[in-house]
Amino acid sequence: MASIKVGETIPEGTFKYIPWSEALESQLACGTPVTFTTNDWKGKKVVVISVPGAFTPTCHANHLPPFAEKYDELKKKGVDVIAVLAANDPFVMSGWARFLGLKDKIIAISDVDAAWSKKLGLEKDLTANGMGVRTARYALVLENNVVKYLGVETEPGVAVSGVDAVLAHL
């Protein structure tokens, strides 16, 4: 059960990601992870899409691609930053983003050990599936780091954390 609620300010979090550059078009390039914090989102409208894992079936086929497809609609609603978050390392997140052709539209951030998601009460223990502790499947709409929408999936699949639910709450 989420401990963060609509109307609350998110706790500070620190993430790693590999910014997209043309050099990453090479299959041999890896990029260099950089660090940023949720403080970088202050004063912005941000959509955070949290998935249990890059390249996993539901995340890869049904959750993230619709956000990429409706990128322009999200931007027209005033979204400044779209970020996909998972407990995978930044190199895996970068590889997944490159595979999906996200470039610099959606940043793929690493919530190592689901540390920030734990602060939100939104981690998921998938140890029985051989995946360890991961981020739960959820979506957040933040304005100046205040939660305006929180959609947490309680059943398999994508509904309240999907792009249409997010668009309806922007």
Please check whether residue 148 is in contact with residue 141, taking contact to mean a CB–CB distance below 8 angstroms.
yes
Q: Which of 59, 82, 87, 147 is catalytic?
A: 59
pLDDT tens for residues 43-74? Answer: 999 999 999 888 876 777 778 999 999 999 99
pLDDT for position 130: 63
**Domain positions in the chain:** 14-168
pLDDT for position 28: 81
pLDDT for position 10: 97
pLDDT for position 126: 64
**What φ, ψ does residue 86 adopt, rounded to 5°?**
-150, 165
* Fold category of 14-168 in CATH: Glutaredoxin (3.40.30)
How far apart are alpha carbons 86 and 92 in whole angstroms? Answer: 10
Q: What mean pLDDT do residues 142-161 have?
A: 94
pLDDT for position 25: 83
Average pLDDT, the chain: 90
pLDDT for position 132: 59
pTM of the predicted protein model: 0.91
Q: What share of the chain is helix, strand, coil (3-state, %, to 5)?
A: 30, 25, 40
30 is catalytic: no
pLDDT tens for residues 76-128? Answer: 999 999 999 999 999 999 998 999 999 999 999 999 889 999 999 998 766 67
